[in-house]
Structure 1
Amino acid sequence: MVKRRSDAEENRARIVAVARERLVASDDVKMNEIARAAGVGQGTLYRHFPTREALLAEVYRDDVDALVGAAPDLLAQHPPIEAMTLWFGRVAEYARVKRGVFAAATDTAQRELDGHSAGPIDKAVTALLQAGQAAGQIRPDVDARDMILLMGFLTRLDDAEWDSRAHRVLDVILAGVEVRAR
């Protein structure tokens, strides 16, 4: 991999951040608007991301990497059920970006992106579940596939109800997997 200059890295990071913001707001992502909002020229944008698909893929990969990387950090700093609750807060934001990326991406790009995320997210969920199960906080009959299927319901939310329902849906999922004293 070629090492980029620090200003090139900063430009790239700004472009990705702006694209992420735009995807959350709308799936109609225009490259020229992203360049302008990021404070870079068209040439800089296209040097980093030669196609719209390349930019969408980078936004998605960035979000997946951040989500997956958060699981061990949260487990190191919090009790397992609290770590999972905090991680689910990140899932809501990740799902919103994923929805925007997938709405703007081609079917081929969607399949490639799914391939990038499925295994790592499964491992992160498994680590959170196993820690919670070992601590007696998570039901022992729940596995990562259960959680991923349940989290998939976020894709059914309309934009208008996202803010009012996404976190509540995740809270309901957590309540269903948490061990409760009877």
Structure 2
Amino acid sequence: MKSGARAGDGRKPRADAIRNRERVLEAAKAVFSQGGPAASLEGVARQAGVGIGTLYRHFPTREALFEAVYRREVEQLVELVQALKAEASPAEALRLWLRANVAFVATKKGMLAALALATQKNPDLMAYSSDRLTQAVGELLARGAAAGEIRDDIGPEDVLRALIGMCYAQDRPDWQDSVLRLIDVFVDGLRLRGQPPG
């Protein structure tokens, strides 16, 4: 078959298929974070610039799309750790990473109902994300403690618990701005005395 590989025949996906999938995921992130769980798949396809058939070829159910967006967001946050370690001081890297998590939580809030369904079908999903994010923030904390910038008596679970608490404590339209301010205060509180704010 010359026009493209059939699913499951062992061939790599075509470049345009990969691009379409990425466009759908990016559009879904935007639509779900703004429109909540009722956001339509047609709206996602429209924003991605693809037909609804293309969307369903990649993601046959709403839950499959939500899970793919969620996993992609987690992986991007894990990859961000390496970039920040190369570009920012330890305390500043932690602050920037936590701030990036706010957008992830906004997307997650918009997908909450569907994610609940997805985790019923795939109970490992939440454990997977928790493990990955705990390891990621643990790297940032260890780097900060080794550099003498951040106290060493706070664990990654403590940091993630505080972040989740800040993000879910309020649901006003401006909640993200408020949480970003709180993150700055939180990271300043983690600094060892004598360390100036980033």
Same fold (TM over 0.5): yes
Deviation at 1:104, TM superposition (A): 3.4
More helix by share: 1
Larger Rg: 2
Number of corresponding residues? 182
Give the whole-Å Cα distance in 2 for the aligned partners of 1:158 and 1:24.
13
Give the whole-Å Cα distance in 2 for the aligned partners of 1:181 and 1:77.
22
Query: Unaligned 5+ residue runs, structure 1?
Result: none
Give the whole-Å Cα distance in 2 for the aligned partners of 1:170 and 1:105.
26
Query: 2:45 is matched with which residue: 12, 32, 35?
Result: 35
Confirm whether residue 66 of structure 1 aligns to residue 76 of structure 2: yes
Tell me the residue number matched to 1:49: 59
Tell me the residue number matched to 2:17: 8
Tell me the residue number matched to 1:170: 183
Deviation at 1:73, TM superposition (A): 1.7
Give the whole-Å Cα distance in 1 for the aligned partners of 2:185 and 2:113.
26
Deviates more, 1:140-149 or 1:104-113: 104-113
Deviates more, 1:43-52 or 1:160-169: 160-169
What is the identity, as a one-letter code, of the residue corresponding to 1:3?
A: K
Query: Unaligned 5+ residue runs, structure 2?
Result: 1-9
What RMSD, in angstroms, separates the aligned Cα atoms of the two structures? 1.8
Confirm whether residue 19 of structure 1 aligns to residue 33 of structure 2: no
The answer (yes or no) to whether the contact 1:29–1:104 under 8 Å persists in 2 is no
Matched residues, percent identical?
A: 36
Query: 1:133 is matched with which residue: 145, 150, 170?
Result: 145
Deviation at 1:51, TM superposition (A): 0.2
Give TM-score, length-normalised by structure 1.
0.92
Give TM-score, length-normalised by structure 2.
0.85
Deviation at 1:35, TM superposition (A): 1.4
